[in-house]
Amino acid sequence: MMKILNAEQTRLADAFTIENEPIPSIDLMERASNRFVEAFYPNFDPKEKLGVVCGTGNNGGDGLAVSRILLSKGYSVQPIVIQPKEGGSKDFQINLLRISELTEVVYIRNEEEIIDFSNFSTIIDAIFGSGLARPVTGFYAKVIEAINLSSAQVVAIDLPSGLFSDLPAPDGAIINADKTISFQAPKLSFFMPGNYQFVGDWHVVDIGLDKNYINTLDTKYTYIEEARIKSLLPSRKRFDHKGTFGHGQLIGGSYGKMGAMELAASAFIRTGAGLLTITVPAIGVNIMQTSVPEAMVLDQPGKKFIEDFNVLDKATIVGIGPGLDIKPETVKGLVDFLRKNDKHLVLDADALNILSENHELLEILPENTIITPHLKEFDRLAGNSDNQWQRIDKACELAERYNIIIVLKGAFTSIVRPDGTVQFNSTGNPGMATGGSGDVLLGIITALRTQGLTAEDAAAAGVYIHGMAGDIAAEDKSQTSLIATDIINGLSKVFLKFDR
């Protein structure tokens, strides 16, 4: 897992590296600027006119170093310094001297000197970076507004100027970046939907801050990476059999919604669990036996809707919710089941909607139950939130209070654990915002839990594998044409990659 550091932790890691590598701060700035350029230049035409807008702090120093490096690579670069008064950080001043020996620097010292940024095809934003502590107003706000009004593509160094690293977006002016190239670790603000207009697509470059020191830093936020997920998956040995990989059960489906159960069941059996039993209303038995022949199907009294949540003794994990509906008989059946249940659970969709209308049931959920709400389902459970920052705080409180794992679905799906830590997923794409995608996720997580993964590991691995399958499918089908079945079909390629 990659740690998500706050601004102060990044500053401390910077200082520790300078002192203990040891490396002069100006050389660390040079290393960071080179890493930025390596990520930047393959995607931009050297013939296009490029403006680099710099403040007078270390982010501005980065911008001036980037300007010099790009000039050496043949780019048409115009360094621009916003300097209402003389001065600047030591490393900014060193890089200002270096770039001034190579090319003319344009200065903006007051509002009258603000230039037309539309003259540039691309603008690199190096005004403030991650050290900002208050909203941007006045003269600097006018510069940012002029950049935002231009037709130029904008790339931010480390963090779009005006945006906070660790707090909700302030009321002041903020750069609207199309792309952000960030140093060493992603910023917490990158994962908040409301900030996408400022951050755009982002990429992290390793600038060589001391990793042993970073490992000592305490943070509740991490970013899921492939190596960690691969290490969680069970290996398959020569004499293993279907019983080795567990027996799980899925409960759901209703008249007109049996497709949700088919998707969940198909995802379950593609994720490696040994045995699957399905409980559906009578109207769905033939559908499921035909569409998912690998699964066993249990009948129950309800014809069109689930009435009795009968569970096999052999099933260790039960996933509930796809296509369930909230008919009174279904609600009664789920309430009765939860009051006597001793199985590990994964809950989604209408199972969550029933919980939101019967909050007392949260008190009797088994510890380490996994719930997988999308944003509206979560708000129905926890109350409306003003923004994602507040929503994640509420999820932390809920997870700790009831000792459950909350998979808060969306871009960068977050896994909120009872200890208050939050993991953000690194896979997936907007094409997965399609009906049935959540049913597929429930099947994947339930299958992983069935194979013996802890609830926390099954949730993390499940969202990563789900997103990776969606990314593979999008490469073949496009994001626009992507459907939930394509995600299931992508699972085989995920595991082929992991098995190598």
3-state secondary structure of 350: helix
Instruction: Show the beta-strand stretches assigned E in 55-200.
Output: 76-82, 106-108, 122-126, 153-157, 179-183
Yes or no: say if 398 and 448 are a contact pair by the CB < 8 Å rule: no
What are the pLDDT tens digits along the chain (500 aa)? Answer: 999 999 999 999 999 999 999 999 999 999 999 999 999 999 899 999 999 999 999 999 999 999 999 999 999 999 999 999 999 999 999 999 999 999 999 999 999 999 999 999 999 999 999 988 899 999 999 999 999 999 999 999 999 999 999 999 999 999 999 999 999 999 999 999 999 999 999 999 999 999 999 999 999 999 999 999 999 999 999 999 999 999 999 999 999 999 999 999 999 999 999 999 999 999 999 999 999 999 999 988 999 999 999 899 999 999 999 999 999 999 999 999 999 999 999 999 999 999 999 999 999 999 999 999 999 999 999 999 999 999 999 999 999 999 999 999 999 999 999 999 999 999 999 999 999 999 999 999 999 999 999 999 999 999 999 999 999 999 999 999 999 999 999 999 999 999 86
Order the strands of the 106-108 sheet from edge to edge: 106-108, 76-82, 49-54, 122-126, 153-157, 179-183, 201-205
The most distant pair of C-alpha atoms in the chain lies apart, rounded to whole Å, by 84
- Asked if residue 160 has a cis previous peptide bond (ω within 30° of 0), the answer is no
Spatial separation of the C-alpha atoms in residues 489 and 263, rounded to whole Å: 11
Spatial separation of the C-alpha atoms in residues 361 and 353, rounded to whole Å: 12
Cα–Cα nearest to 459, from 344, 372, 351 = 372
Residues 6+ apart with CB under 8 A from 96: 61, 64, 81, 88, 105
Cα–Cα nearest to 3, from 228, 217, 182 = 217
Spatial separation of the C-alpha atoms in residues 220 and 258, rounded to whole Å: 39
Spatial separation of the C-alpha atoms in residues 403 and 362, rounded to whole Å: 10
Per-residue confidence (pLDDT) for residue 131, from 0 to 100: 80
Q: Length of the chain in residues, anyone?
A: 500
Spatial separation of the C-alpha atoms in residues 121 and 133, rounded to whole Å: 30
Per-residue confidence (pLDDT) for residue 202, from 0 to 100: 97
3-state secondary structure of 355: helix
In the numeric block, the tokens 């509906």 are attached to 325
Which structure tokens are listed for 283?
């109207």
Spatial separation of the C-alpha atoms in residues 370 and 408, rounded to whole Å: 11
3-state secondary structure of 101: coil
The helix (H) or strand (E) run that includes residue 296 is: strand 296-298
**DSSP letters of 43-72?**
GS-TTSEEEEEE-SSHHHHHHHHHHHHHHH
Per-residue confidence (pLDDT) for residue 500, from 0 to 100: 67
